[in-house]
Every structure is written in C-alpha cells, then in structure tokens.
C-alpha cells in the first residue's frame, strides 16, 4: 500500500507541475504586430486631375525612431505625360507645435533615399493635412487632407 501511495503522489506532482508550467512554445513565440495606419487622399495638380497619395505609417508615436517607418506612393491622375508613380520609404518623426498652435502634432516623413520630406499636421485621429516645411498650413488646406482608411 505504501508503494501505491508513493506512485499516486508522484503522478499528482507531475500533473501539477505540468499545469503550473509557463506558456507553451507556440504562445511564447507569438509576436505583437506593429501598429499600422493607412491614409489616402488626392492633392491638387496643375497638369492633371490630381495626385493620389497613399501613406502607410508603421509604428506608434511612443516607439523608437528606427521602429517608425512609412511608405508613400504618389500617383498622377490623368496626366498628359503619364509619369510613373513615385514611391518613397523611410522613417517618420513626431514634432510638436506649429506657428499657430504650439500643442499641435506634426509628422515629418523623411525618405531613406532621394525625395522630399513631407510634413503632415494631425487634424484628428483620422485626418492628416499636408503643411509646409516651416509647419505652416496652406490657404487651401482642406484640399490637402488625407483620411485614415
């Protein structure tokens, strides 16, 4: 009877040790996906019907700068010379303040290679507005807005 009690006790300890173990390998290997925000809009164009702009921003404001990346595609709509799409990728920074609003949030998108740096004023959680490098809004600002998709 004593041997039987020892075997049952050992089995119970093994069972309890298995239940108390940490997460399974598959659960511990899961990674958290970075935040992705996609914005789209159309900007005015002198020689065409507009410039379609798609911006995808990966990361969050609190992330390290190297973890905040973007891709930007500019497509000319019905342009007479049919130029190719312009594609940029790089990192984005969070800047605070504009000349008219010291608390405003501005995103600075800097391409890795050649290309211009873009500045967007965050109007609200779903709207960005293209602004100039001095962080000033353009007179026709409502025509320069991108909406979150």
pLDDT per position as a tens digit, 30-67: 567 779 999 999 999 999 999 999 999 999 999 998 89
Residue at token pair 């507005």:
129
Percent of the chain with pLDDT strictly greater than 70: 79
Residue 27 predicted with pLDDT over 90: no
Distances (CA, A) of 118 to 1, 125, 134, 148: 80, 18, 11, 17
Enumerate domains of the chain plus CATH numbers.
36-148 (2.40.128.640)
Handedness of CA 142, 63, 38, 84 (dihedral sign): positive
Query: What is the DSSP code string of 105-123?
Result: EEEEEEESSSS--EEEEEE
Distances (CA, A) of 27 to 14, 24, 57: 22, 5, 27
Q: Is the pTM of this model over 0.85?
A: no
């Amino acid at each position: 009877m004593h041997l039987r009690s020892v075997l049952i006790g050992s089995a119970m300890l093994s069972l309890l040790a298995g239940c108390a173990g940490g997460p399974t390998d598959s659960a511990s290997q899961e990674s958290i996906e970075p935040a992705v925000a996609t914005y789209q809009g159309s900007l005015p164009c002198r020689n065409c019907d507009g410039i379609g702009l798609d911006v995808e921003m990966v990361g969050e404001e609190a992330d390290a700068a190297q973890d905040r990346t973007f891709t930007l595609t500019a497509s000319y709509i019905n342009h007479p010379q049919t130029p190719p799409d312009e594609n940029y990728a790089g990192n984005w920074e969070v800047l605070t303040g504009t000349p008219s609003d010291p608390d405003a949030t501005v995103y600075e998108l800097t391409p890795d290679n050649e290309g211009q740096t873009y500045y967007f004023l965050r109007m609200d959680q779903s709207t960005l507005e293209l602004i100039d490098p001095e962080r000033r809004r353009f007179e026709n600002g409502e025509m320069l807005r991108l909406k979150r998709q």
